[in-house]
Amino acid sequence: MSNRQVPLTGSTLIVGPSQAGKTRLTARALDAWIDRNGAAGVAVLEFAPEVERDGTLLGGRLDRFTTIPDDAWHGILDAHAPRTVGESEAEAAALAADNAARAARLLDAAPDDPAAVFVNDATIPLQAEVITPHRLVAYCEQAPCAILNAYEGESLGTDDPVSRRERLALATLRKRVNETISLPSATRG
């Protein structure tokens, strides 16, 4: 796991391949924010699917690594992993659209004027046309601190519609945040 410190001001995007430690680092940043500022006004958006591959849980929610306080708003998407479980491009696209539609409702329900926003697996709801990256970034920009994480790995190199859309979303997020932290592979979380 990275010992890198995540800034608790501005916006930061944490990227890397599966099992690089993105979720764990985001959880550490959430804990640091809460230790310093308390949980009031914190919005946590959980978009990560939980996928088991070869006996290993890939992805997963922040609550695997920390306890989300009751004072924080916690929006959880029971997400599909479109590229992993979709048996065709059409099925993957349909799963991505379902994720995006349900994530849009979570964004609608998220508190106005958050003190801090933590987004786990930020590109999952952006794999379909339902939500634009700009909408998610606009929500995050309301807060003095926004920390997002996203997958960046070999699966994004394919030319299927879900991957193309996710690559575009990731590029937009990179342009709109203050800092990007790239994690190497081979750690857990």
Q: Which CATH number covers residue 159?
A: 3.40.50.300
Neighbouring CB atoms inside 10 A of 1's CB total 13
pTM: 0.91
Q: Please report whether residue 3 resides in a domain.
A: no
Q: Please report whether residue 187 resides in a domain.
A: no
Quick one: average pLDDT of 75-83? Answer: 91
User: Among 113, 33, 23, 25, which Cα is nearest to 69's?
Assistant: 33
Q: Please report whether residue 189 resides in a domain.
A: no
Provide the pLDDT for residue 156: 65
Q: Please report whether residue 105 resides in a domain.
A: yes
Q: Which residue has the higher pLDDT, 178 or 157?
A: 178
Q: Please report whether residue 4 resides in a domain.
A: no
Three-class DSSP category at 48? coil
Q: Please report whether residue 68 resides in a domain.
A: yes
Q: Please report whether residue 1 resides in a domain.
A: no
Provide the pLDDT for residue 186: 58
Quick one: average pLDDT of 152-175? Answer: 87
Query: Could you tell me the sign of the dihedral formed by the alpha carbons of 15, 19, 23, 28, in that order?
Result: negative
Quick one: average pLDDT of 163-173? Answer: 93
For residue 143, what are the domain limits?
10-182
Model confidence band, residue 174 (pLDDT cutoffs 50, 70, 90): very high
Considering its fold, how many domains does the chain have in total?
1
Q: Please report whether residue 26 resides in a domain.
A: yes
